[in-house]
A = this chain, B = another copy of it.
Amino acid sequence: MPTEPLPAFDPERFRREGRAVVDWIADYWQTVADRPVQSSVDPGWVRSQLPAHPPEQPEPLAAVLADLDHVIVPGLTHWQHPGFFAYFPASASGPSILGELLSAGMGVQGMLWATSPACTELETHVLDWLRELLGLPDRFASTGVGGGVIHDSASSGLLCAVVAARERALQCSRVEETVVGRPEQRQPLVGYTSAAAHSSIEKGLGIAGIDRQWLRKIETNDRGELDADRLAARMDADARNGMIPFFVAATVGTTSSGAFDAVPLIAAATRRHNAWLHVDAAWAGAAAICPELRGGIVAGAEAADSWGFNPHKWLLVNFDCHTLWVADRRPFVRALSMKPDYLRNAATESGSVIDYSDWQVPLGRRFRALKLWMTLRMIGAAALRQRIRDHVAWAAEFADWVRADRRFELLAEPSLSLVAFGLRAGDEATAALLDRVNRSGRVLLSPARVGGRHALRLAVGGTLTRREDVETAWREISRLA
């Protein structure tokens, strides 16, 4: 064991160790398909393998890599396994991993334009590129008063949209006293989403101080889509009763069954009350890069105040990478900007730059645009489209196999690459099957509730997943049913 302190950054050592880590990762990807998808360790096992106290003296990389193999990897559920069909996959790619490495290696922090102009400008630029690829309306381009920003997750993007919406609503109401958290406030701010919307919406509103009772979870129709007529009626009734409808979250591709809310109809109701319209396209958004799939995804976006999706789900950018566009950045900045003396600088004061810390919760920020830029450049839009088309086709095939087996039924029509299905024998049988399938180690699915029924969800999207892995999944599911 060396007893001399090592330099914190020794270039020659970094070259050597960097190669070893790159090789470790390549080996991991080459062998991941041979491992069980899901870790089977018991709670506490990983910790039981680690020393109780921190190391005083440095240890070599080899010791760390040995522990990765013997302690960490057995404790992983392998999100990059070709048999991972759970949640929504978090697909990584070589270029995006290298982008993350470069971001860590440069070690710049882009809280202000001035603290690394390239960190800000590449982000603005690549989000304009991505807007174009998705066919999102011009209002989200940075050339006007809108623009895009990278967040860690859809939850964080949503929270910022809620805070900006709250700011705008309280300003528009022109009643100085109606500020959230002020006891003088007589009119509650009310948010709306569908009963099938993601939990991050309730969480984000709650964090922003909008209590659960002021979130209306509007019923869905039998396809899992928010019922726009009920929404309009509820907003009207709330306004009549002296409340302020201030925020509506529509979902394009629900988590459970992939339902698409009718954003144009929702937008009409939202506009009448001057509420903020946020579109959560976290998973499905990526498919808008294919013109033939785009229609239902971007419909109504021209009326949205904010629109977000996760390139880390289905666009080969490693987690974390959520992209959010806003039609007007001014309420965003008003709600989130803080410029104490120690952040003052000439560029900010000139008004000619974006300071992305004004668009997010944290002050500091990584250079996340690198990985998105490298993924787009080194894979190219054409190949990204082809992958999405393949996945949609494989999910449709899988749905056909489900339909053709009379023990099973689809619980919703397949949506893009997502299939929700169950056993006709009922909820208990479906839950038991999920358990057996996941224990098999070859396939990982996740549960959901669709139309009041227990469902199995199969989401195609893994980086290594091929058509034959979808076939294997069906064979396993069918065998274990």
Contact = CB atoms under 8 A, between A and B. Distances in A.
A316 interface: yes
Nearest to A107: B92
Nearest to A31: B11
A56 B338 contact: no
Nearest to A178: B183
Interface string A398-439: 000000000000000000000000000000000000000000
28 contacts: A8-B316, A8-B387, A8-B463, A9-B463, A11-B27, A11-B30, A12-B26, A14-B26, A14-B98, A18-B101, A21-B101, A22-B22, A25-B105, A53-B129, A58-B380, A59-B380, A75-B118, A76-B106, A97-B104, A104-B318, A156-B361, A181-B189, A203-B338, A203-B361, A207-B361, A208-B208, A208-B209, A342-B457
A299 interface: no
A41 B117 contact: yes
A221 interface: no
A100 interface: yes
A181 B183 contact: no
B255 A342 contact: yes
B181 A214 contact: yes
Contacts of A130: 54
Contacts of A6: 378-380, 383
Given A92-B9, A210-B181, A43 B342 contact: no
A194 to B, nearest CB: 13
A58 B209 contact: no
A69 to B, nearest CB: 12
Contacts of A129: 53-54
A180 interface: yes
A287 to B, nearest CB: 16
Given A118-B76, A119-B76, A377-B63, A109 B97 contact: no
Task: Name the residue in A18, A56, A211 with the highest tally of chain B Cβ atoms < 10 Å from its Cβ.
Answer: A18
Given A18-B19, A79-B116, 12 more contacts: A8-B316, A15-B22, A54-B133, A56-B380, A61-B98, A76-B108, A77-B117, A97-B104, A163-B207, A183-B187, A206-B335, A209-B210
Interface stretch (A227-235, A264-272, A441-449, A471-479): A441-449
B39 A11 contact: no
A470 B27 CA distance: 43
A121 interface: yes
Nearest to A91: B8
Contacts of A154: 363
B17 A26 contact: no
Nearest to A152: B362
Contacts of A11: 26-27, 29-30
Contact of A361 (B78, B155, B213, B448): B155
A344 B448 CA distance: 9
Interface string A113-143: 1111111011011000110110000000000
Given A17-B94, A104-B100, A156-B361, A208 B207 contact: yes
A171 interface: no
A341 B448 contact: yes
Task: Name the residue in A28, A255, A362 with the highest tally of chain B Cβ atoms < 10 Å from its Cβ.
Answer: A362
Contacts of A155: 361-364
Interface string A165-206: 010000000000001111101111100000000111011101
Contacts of A43: 113, 117, 347, 350, 352-353
Task: Name the residue in A114, A207, A255 with the highest tally of chain B Cβ atoms < 10 Å from its Cβ.
Answer: A207
Contacts of A220: none
A26 B206 CA distance: 45
A475 B318 CA distance: 45
A294 interface: no
Contacts of A237: none
A446 B109 CA distance: 14
B188 A319 contact: no
A88 to B, nearest CB: 10
Nearest to A68: B102
A363 B199 contact: yes
A26 B87 CA distance: 38
A335 B47 CA distance: 27
Contacts of A60: 378
Interface string A18-60: 1101111111111000000001010111110010011111111
Contacts of A15: 22-23, 26
